[in-house]
């Protein structure tokens, strides 16, 4: 395989495919919730988990409601900056950083699509234990949270430097 084709497959096509699968999964689950539930409806599934159709115009955990336009611009900036950084640095970062960035970009894209198409984000995953209730969230939020944790782990790794000794080995 020639160098350009290998580069394209390894650093563009594979991450782009993962992004597409994650965004599709997020949008498909939100579509299902919007199609089969009415706003505010709850469907209990286990003693600690239910589906609850909620929407919000704020950010995580429904903070800063009513600022959809601001968060749409912020989400677009996150996608652009992280995707740009990824494209420039992909050959020099390890698999952990790549996974983190793809997750964050995918989650931000999923919620950005909601903000641009309906002016609000659809949330529906609803966990609770006794009187404690975790704020509802969606697949995109999960991608952003998991990606953020992975990026933090990568940032504190001693061998994380761009082009570090393990970066090429873990692609």
- Active centre residues (catalytic): 123, 141
User: In the sheet where 49-56 sits, what is the strand order?
Assistant: 42-46, 49-56, 121-129, 132-133
| Four-point Cα dihedral 71, 76, 80, 81, nearest 10 | -10
CB 87 within 8 A of CB 116: no
**Separation CA 66–CA 56 (nearest Å):** 8
Nearest to 138 by CA among 114, 158, 163: 114
């Amino acid at each position: 395989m020639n160098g350009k084709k290998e580069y394209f497959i390894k650093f563009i096509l594979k991450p782009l495919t993962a992004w597409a699968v994650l965004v599709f999964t997020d949008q498909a689950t939100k579509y299902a919730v919007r199609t089969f539930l009415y706003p505010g409806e709850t469907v209990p599934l286990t003693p600690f988990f239910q589906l609850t159709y909620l929407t919000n115009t704020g950010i995580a955990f429904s903070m800063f409601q009513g600022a959809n336009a601001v968060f749409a611009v912020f989400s677009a900036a996150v996608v652009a900056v992280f995707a740009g950084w990824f494209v420039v640095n992909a050959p020099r970062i390890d698999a952990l950083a790549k996974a983190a960035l793809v997750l964050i970009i995918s989650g931000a894209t999923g919620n950005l699509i909601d903000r641009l198409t309906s002016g609000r984000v659809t949330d529906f995953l609803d966990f609770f234990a006794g009187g404690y209730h975790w704020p509802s969230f969606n697949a995109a939020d999960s991608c952003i949270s998991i990606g953020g944790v992975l990026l933090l782990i990568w940032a504190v790794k001693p061998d994380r430097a761009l082009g570090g000794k393990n970066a090429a080995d873990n692609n």
